[in-house]
Amino acid sequence: MHRIVPLLIGALVLSGCSWLFRERIPDFPTARQQYEYATALFEVTEPLPPERDRGPWNNQENNPYNDALTPRYRERDYRNFIHAFEKVPERFPTDTDFRPLAMIRLGEFHHLLGEYTPAVTYYRSVISEFPDDNFLQATGLFGLGRVKMGQSQYGEANRIFMRLLQDHGTSEVPQIVELCERARQNVLQLRNQLTS
């Protein structure tokens, strides 16, 4: 019997039952530490080049919304990432620095899993709760637009991307400039969908 237990545990782990480890996400004393742990868990799977780490979304090669990379990202364990990032808003509901960043990540992961309702909820929460933060507004709008594209709600997606461009199209913040450029590309892509 003593030999069977380790074999069963090993078989479960090797078969992809990572749920065994989801309960082991530690609690940290600050929102920053909780967020950094979740981010490290995500990046350990596929480290990002440090010079390009510019926030929740990075360069084209590391952007989970880069359509060319979607199959590679779908292979990752988003359930575990979701579990890790959920701890930030759950444990630190009044934090205004790391909670919204975790909510953006949660929106991304749910979107990549095709779970549009929670993705929309997270993005809309960020947009409504942080109206004065241009980066969070742009990021939330971009994510929401991508979700609407995934739902084939092309008119709504176009309106959201146009709002992003109207509100933030003249920004000089590199992350926002990148989001606006991607929004412009999506608007061009949506024109074909809306005219067909």
Give the pLDDT of the chain (196 residues) as one tens digit per residue: 444 444 334 433 433 444 444 448 899 999 999 999 999 887 765 544 443 433 444 445 445 445 444 444 555 678 888 999 999 999 999 999 999 999 999 999 999 899 999 999 999 999 999 999 999 999 999 999 999 999 999 999 999 999 999 999 999 999 999 999 999 999 999 988 777 6
Give all domains of the chain, ordered by start, each with its CATH number.
27-195 (1.25.40.10)
pLDDT at residue 156, as a whole number:
97
pLDDT at residue 57, as a whole number:
47
pTM confidence score: 0.74
pLDDT at residue 41, as a whole number:
83
- 173 token code pair: 């913040």
Nearest to 106 by CA among 82, 78, 137: 82
Q: Which residues contact 18 (CB under 8 A, 6 or more apart)?
A: 77, 79, 80
CA atoms within 13 A on the CB side of 103: 29
- The radius of gyration of the chain's CA atoms, rounded to the nearest angstrom, is 18
